[in-house]
């Protein structure tokens, strides 16, 4: 029997390690530690319902487990064979208990390829990886396939870069293989920088060997002998898992000299980021590796021609790599059948925001936004109304109700004014202000801009200042024209992807939520009620009894009124702290 515990960040933060300890302790006490294995795995994805504990072989999926539940799970389920009903997932619509994740709406439409091992293996045990076809693809390439055949297979699969660019991976490998040099490099871009994104982190924490195997296969196709994983320093657990995996792979001769006796040598080293989102851009990443300032340089030349130390270098994203071994093992045709015509395979998304089932999902390309939000995501939280879904992080745009039936793929999302990005998907409801949202993303890109080119360095700052002005009620209609023109020019003239996409949140919200912008600049109102400066606290003279409680507690003394007479708030001095509303016992104060 196996007890699998989710080791993803959400569950860890909710004491899943303690659950693991408690389970192991209890098993020891019961003398069962040799018969029941407790394994901490990678992220199961159902973060909303974590901590997750799964029992094998009967596939019981326990949710919202607490450390004190450990004893009961052992007593009832392991020893007596009776499921602990209260820990099982209840479908909110059918109100039925679902014990196997295969039947849950959250999982039904998912096809987990990149995340295939997350939640199934102990990522610190190479044997468990191998037992699930791990390193079989590398073996197949080295013994049965020429580099050319491997490239053709990856091309035929239709795999496109999962880091945001969506460039055909096979083609990228082909370019790198064509350039001759005395030294070539394979680089894994693990600098996942989108705020809140954790797709790559989950893969690295839950299945690090998949990336190592893929890098070795890539190196084989292009004639590289050295690989580098550039990983952000903010991922200490992923770094730890990779170090263990590299060590184990070396011990098994799967990294290093003459791998599997094939004559092919390849080894990997790690480099750490230093807190710069821009270093996720491949040329900036390479310069950071070279010890220079992490600033992008103009392409061409592309890294395949001249990259790290001027040598041909292939840079791919973590999730892109994670797909490679499966494509080799199951074949390009199998992979290509999944997804849409131009976007084969699946995509991992970090589903977040005002949605019931927050978590990590992997769906075939072509799944519609509606399916993701309402079926997998379980609909909008607290029964509120859907307003928008933001995809692609700071590089992406907002889509509305009318876009919900868009099948998700690279080109469709671009066609409707957004982009896939690295897989962030944030759902918004009627209480989210779209202007504020655009401002939030610009705040991020202003902070992260490297400063090399004028449009991004100064332009984004000006975009932010305009948005801020608007959320403070000082914007004008002319400002909207300025926003549009400036956004267009920044996109048109920026040196790298950061500046070329940073205005997207602005452009897509102005396009899809123009009325909301108009409300801010002409009526000086925030329809969602989020922009504090545009809110007015008002005392209803009919309900106010003049108890003076609000006036006495106001930190800026802006409430006037005699005892037993209706009080009035001076809007000009009001700092909108909300104290008066909290104190009023007569519900006389509301926000307009």
Partner 1 sequence: MEKMIKLIIDNKLVEVPEGTTILDAAKEIGVEIPTLCYMHLGDMGIEHKPGGCRICVVEVEGRRNLAPSCNSKCTEGMVVNTHNMRVLNARKTVLELMLSDHPFDCLVCAKSGNCDLQSIAIKLGVRELHYKGEQSTYKVDYSPSIIRDMDKCIMCRRCETMCNDVQTVGALSAVNRGFESVVAPAFEMDLEKSTCTYCGQCVAVCPTGALTEKDHTNQLIRDLADPKKIVVVQTAPAVRAALGEEFGLEPGTLVTGKMVAALRQLGFNSVFDTDFAADLTIMEEGTELLDRLKRHLDGDKDVKLPILTSCCPAWVNFFEHHFPCMKDIPSTARSPQQMFGPIAKNYLAKQMGIKREDMIVVSIMPCLAKKYECQRDEFKVDGDPDVNYSISTRELANLIKQANMDFLGLPEGEFDNPLGESTGAGVIFGTTGGVIEAAARTAYEVYTGKTLETVDFKALRGMEGIRSAKVDFDGLELNIGIAHGLGNARKLLEDIRDGKSQYHAIEIMACPGGCIGGGGQPLHHGDSSILKKRAAALYREDEGKAIRKSHENPYIIKLYEEFLGKPCSELSHKLLHTHYFDKSTDIEIE
For 10, the 3-state DSSP assignment is helix
Q: In which order are the strands placed within the sheet that holds 37-41? A: 37-41, 2-6, 53-56, 60-62
Number of residues that bind partner 1 (CB under 8 A): 34
| Binding residues for partner 1 restricted to 21-60, rule: CB under 8 A | none
- What secondary structure does DSSP assign to 65-83, as a single string? --GGGHHHIIIIIIIT---
191 alpha-carbon distance from chain centroid: 12
Burial class (CB in 10 A: 0-12, 13-18, 19+), 411: middle
Q: Which is nearer to partner 1, 197 or 495 (CB)?
A: 495
| Binding residues for partner 1 restricted to 444-483, rule: CB under 8 A | 446-455, 457-459, 461-462, 465-466, 482
5 alpha-carbon distance from chain centroid: 21
Q: Which is nearer to partner 1, 111 or 414 (CB)?
A: 414
Residue from 500, 530, 553, 579 in contact with partner 1 (CB under 8 A):
500
90 binds partner 1 (CB under 8 A): no
Question: Smallest gap, in angstroms, from Cβ of residue 503 to partner 1?
Answer: 12
71 C-beta neighbours (distance < 10 Å), count = 15
For 138, the 3-state DSSP assignment is helix
Q: Which is nearer to partner 1, 165 or 325 (CB)?
A: 165
Question: Smallest gap, in angstroms, from Cβ of residue 298 to partner 1?
Answer: 4
Annotate each residue in 254-293 with x if it binds partner 1 (CB under 8 A) or - if it does not, as one string.
----------------------x-x--------------x
Among 88-96, 322-330, 362-370, 488-496, which window interacts with partner 1 (CB under 8 A)?
A: 488-496
Task: Tell me: cis bond preceding 75? Omega within 30 of 0 counts.
Answer: no
| Binding residues for partner 1 restricted to 297-356, rule: CB under 8 A | 297-298, 300
For residue 401, CA distances in Å to 148, 384, 388, 516 come to: 46, 14, 7, 15
167 binds partner 1 (CB under 8 A): no
Question: Smallest gap, in angstroms, from Cβ of residue 304 to partner 1?
Answer: 16
Q: Which is nearer to partner 1, 14 or 494 (CB)?
A: 494
For helices 318-330 and 147-157, the axis angle rounded to 10 degrees is: 100
For 53, the 3-state DSSP assignment is strand
493 binds partner 1 (CB under 8 A): yes
Q: Which is nearer to partner 1, 300 or 555 (CB)?
A: 300
484 binds partner 1 (CB under 8 A): no
For 109, the 3-state DSSP assignment is coil
Burial class (CB in 10 A: 0-12, 13-18, 19+), 199: buried
Question: Smallest gap, in angstroms, from Cβ of residue 500 to partner 1?
Answer: 6
485 binds partner 1 (CB under 8 A): yes
Q: Which is nearer to partner 1, 490 or 528 (CB)?
A: 490
Residues that bind partner 1 (CB under 8 A): 276, 278, 293, 295, 297-298, 300, 446-455, 457-459, 461-462, 465-466, 482, 485-486, 489, 491-495, 500
């Amino acid at each position: 029997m196996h007890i699998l515990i989710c080791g993803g960040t959400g569950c860890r933060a909710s004491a899943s390690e303690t659950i693991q300890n408690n389970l192991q302790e209890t098993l020891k006490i019961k003398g069962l530690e040799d018969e029941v294995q407790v394994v901490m795995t990678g992220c199961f994805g159902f973060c909303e319902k974590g901590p997750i504990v799964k029992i094998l072989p009967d596939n019981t999926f326990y949710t919202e487990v607490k450390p004190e539940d450990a004893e009961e799970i052992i007593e009832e389920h392991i020893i007596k064979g009776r499921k602990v009903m209260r820990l099982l997932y209840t479908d909110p619509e059918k109100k039925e208990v679902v014990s196997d994740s295969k039947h849950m709406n959250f999982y039904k439409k998912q096809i987990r390829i990149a995340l295939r091992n997350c939640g199934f293996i102990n990522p610190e045990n190479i044997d468990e990886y191998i037992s699930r076809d791990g390193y079989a693809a590398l073996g197949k390439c080295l013994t049965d396939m020429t580099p050319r055949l491997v490239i053709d297979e990856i091309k035929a699969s239709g795999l496109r870069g999962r880091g945001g660019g969506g460039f055909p991976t096979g083609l990228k490998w082909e370019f790198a293989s064509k350039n001759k040099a005395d030294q070539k490099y394979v680089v894994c871009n693990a600098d996942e920088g989108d705020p809140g994104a954790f797709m790559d982190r989950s893969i690295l924490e839950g299945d690090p060997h998949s990336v190592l195997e893929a890098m070795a296969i890539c190196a084989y196709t292009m004639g590289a002998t050295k690989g580098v994983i550039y990983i952000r320093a903010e991922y200490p657990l992923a770094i730890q898992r990779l170090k263990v995996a590299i060590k184990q792979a070396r011990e098994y001769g799967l990294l290093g000299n003459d791998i599997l006796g094939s004559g092919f040598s390849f080894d990997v080293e790690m480099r750490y980021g230093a807190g710069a989102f821009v270093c996720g851009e491949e040329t900036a990443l390479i310069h950071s590796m070279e010890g220079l300032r992490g600033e992008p340089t103009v392409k061409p030349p592309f890294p395949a021609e001249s990259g790290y130390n001027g040598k041909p270098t292939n840079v791919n994203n973590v999730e892109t790599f994670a797909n490679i071994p499966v494509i080799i093992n199951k074949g390009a045709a199998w992979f290509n059948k999944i997804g849409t015509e131009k976007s084969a395979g699946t995509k991992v998304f970090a589903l977040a925001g005002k949605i019931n089932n927050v978590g990590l999902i992997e769906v075939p390309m072509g799944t519609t936004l509606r399916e993701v939000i309402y079926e997998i995501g379980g609909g909008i939280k607290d029964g509120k109304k859907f307003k928008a879904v933001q995809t692609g992080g700071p590089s992406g745009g907002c889509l509305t109700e009318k876009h919900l039936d868009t099948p998700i793929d690279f080109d469709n999302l671009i066609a409707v004014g957004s982009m896939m990005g690295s897989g962030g998907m944030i759902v918004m409801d009627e209480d989210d202000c779209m202007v504020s949202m655009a401002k939030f993303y610009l705040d991020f890109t202003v902070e992260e801009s490297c400063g090399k080119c004028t449009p991004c360095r100064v332009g984004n700052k000006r975009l932010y200042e305009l948005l801020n002005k608007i959320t403070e009620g000082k914007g004008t209609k002319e400002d909207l024209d300025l926003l549009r023109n400036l956004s267009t020019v920044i996109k048109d003239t920026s040196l790298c992807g950061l500046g070329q996409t940073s205005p997207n949140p602005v452009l897509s919200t102005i396009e899809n939520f123009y009325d909301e912008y108009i409300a801010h600049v002409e009526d000086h109102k925030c329809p969602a009620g989020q922009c504090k400066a545009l809110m007015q606290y008002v005392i209803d003279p009919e309900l106010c009894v003049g108890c003076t409680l609000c006036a006495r507690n106001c930190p800026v003394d802006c409430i006037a009124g005699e005892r037993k007479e209706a009080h009035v708030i001076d809007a000009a001095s009001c700092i909108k702290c909300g104290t008066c509303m909290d104190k009023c016992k007569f519900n006389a104060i509301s926000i307009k």
